[in-house]
Amino acid sequence: MWISGIKKWDEVNPESTYLMLISPQEIPHLVLVSKNAYYSLTHKKSVFDEPVQPYLKFLQRSGKSVLIAELRVEPLELSTIFKRYQKANTDEITCLLPIREALLPNSSANFVFELIPELLGQDLIGAFYQLNMDDLVNQSNDFELSTYSKEAIFSYIESLNEKYAKRD
């Protein structure tokens, strides 16, 4: 799926809600930002109500590519939803699940490349932005979302678990 008319990221609007795809050229990690707080389900833990500014500074400094969808939807009880999840795992729980539950509870999307068309179809995305993606968007500021399998997601989560297990 192609995403068109992506603008350069300037700064977070504290009143807005954003869906962020970290490293969208690969299997992206998904983060939800609402009211200057970020929410994320990682392979280590569920993150909720964390201040977004330090996280954004980290993304900018690290050079991580980020595709950002500014949403026209007020997410459901984010803290309550994210508290129900301990962490992403290698057989059923991915970073998409709490985000899908918060944004489109009746969606059956299993991947962000399925969720974004649903959000667009319901006119719930106001604009797309990018951070550190100048070399990934084409001259028209378009970007093609990659597709992948559930097995690829779970394999990636397993590789993260192994990588960080060696550090502990």
Total-model pTM: 0.90
pLDDT score for 159: 80
Q: What is the pLDDT of residue 91?
A: 72
C-alpha 139/C-alpha 92 separation (Å) is: 38
Structure confidence by residue, pLDDT tens digits, 136-164: 999 999 999 999 888 888 787 888 767 76
Task: Quickly state the pLDDT bin for 130 (edges 50, 70, 90).
Answer: very high
Give residue 119's pLDDT. 96
Distance between CA atoms of 113 and 163, rounded to whole angstroms? 26
Q: What is the pLDDT of residues 64-90, one digit of tens each?
A: 999 999 999 888 789 999 999 988 876
- The predicted model gives 44-59 an average pLDDT of 90
* Domain total in the chain: 1
For 6-22, what is the HEC assignment? CEECCCCCCCCEEEEEE
pLDDT score of 168 more than 60:
no
Q: Given CA atoms 75, 58, 41, 80 in this order, what sign does their dihedral have? A: negative
> Residue 120 sits in which domain range?
2-167
